[in-house]
Amino acid sequence: MEPLTHPTRPTAMDKRLTLTALALLPLPLLAACGTESAGDSGSGNVGSTATKASVTGVRWKVDSLTVGGKTEQAPDGAYLKIADNGEVDGNYGCNTFGSTAAFKDDGIDFETAQSTEMACGDVPMKFEEAFARTLDAEKFTAETTDGGLTLTTGDGDTVKMSEEKPAELYGTKWRIDSLMDHDVATSLPEAARGKAWFTLDKKAGTLNGSVGCNEVSAKATVSEDRITLGNPRTTRKMCSDSLMAAERSLLELFKGTVEYRIDHRSITLTSENDAGIGAVADK
């Protein structure tokens, strides 16, 4: 990988694709864009306490990032996963990305990433720009502990992570963070962020939660990969225009059947007209 001081090296933001374009590419193809050496295993050691086998195949939740001696806590949803063949997928804290990792010379080298480009709050954007720059650094060494992984650059910057268990459909508090229209996802209006969520009760056969301002409940029948939602019952508080607009979009999913897909700790609900929501499991 070229050093960061190379005059023609693109910035992390320059590397990003729009979500619409990225959605057309399957993640393995994104990973293939990086390098042909992703499968290199070298000696199998990537740090004093870590081997390739102990790093790959685990979804690592990003806990914190330390750059230049300053530590920042990661936003919810930030993660990194490296497959055995070197394919990488992850989330910077708002935008998802794909890359490749080469295992050689007692270290891990991440190739240039491609990511979505959703607008996020100021804090997530600052974190993910720093996270993207750090992953694009020189080779990392890896240190593993019981359920933890720390990646360290030659300059001493670190990414601290912990193993993340998959979330269950039932009983999980799913925090809604995006609205979807066909292949395009947009983040919730700022006024609704962190306020919209739902949970499914298997025994009662219900969905309960909040659509940003008002509480909502409805019958929910799950069959295979689909959920049939009944008429929503909501409280009737009046809220800001942006909150009410978000609520109307979320309520459109009710009185119909949605397809659900769980990817570890994230879930998408998609209606028959390709509108939907994205959510992540609450901590």
The string of pLDDT tens digits covering residues 93-117 is 889 999 999 997 779 999 989 998 8
Q: How far is CA 167 from the centre of its chain?
A: 13
Q: What is the pLDDT of residues 143-197, one digit of tens each?
A: 999 899 999 998 999 999 999 889 999 999 999 999 999 878 888 888 888 899 9
Tokens 């963070």 belong to: 177
pTM: 0.59
pLDDT digits (tens, 9 = 90+) for 72-97: 999 888 999 999 999 999 999 889 99
Contact 161/149 with Cβ under 8 angstroms? Answer: yes
One DSSP character per residue, 110-170 reads EPPPEE------HHHHHHHHHHHHHHTSSPBEEEEETTEEEEE-TTS-EEEEEE-PPPPSB
3-state secondary structure of 242: helix
Q: What integer pLDDT is reported at residue 17 of this predicted model? A: 34
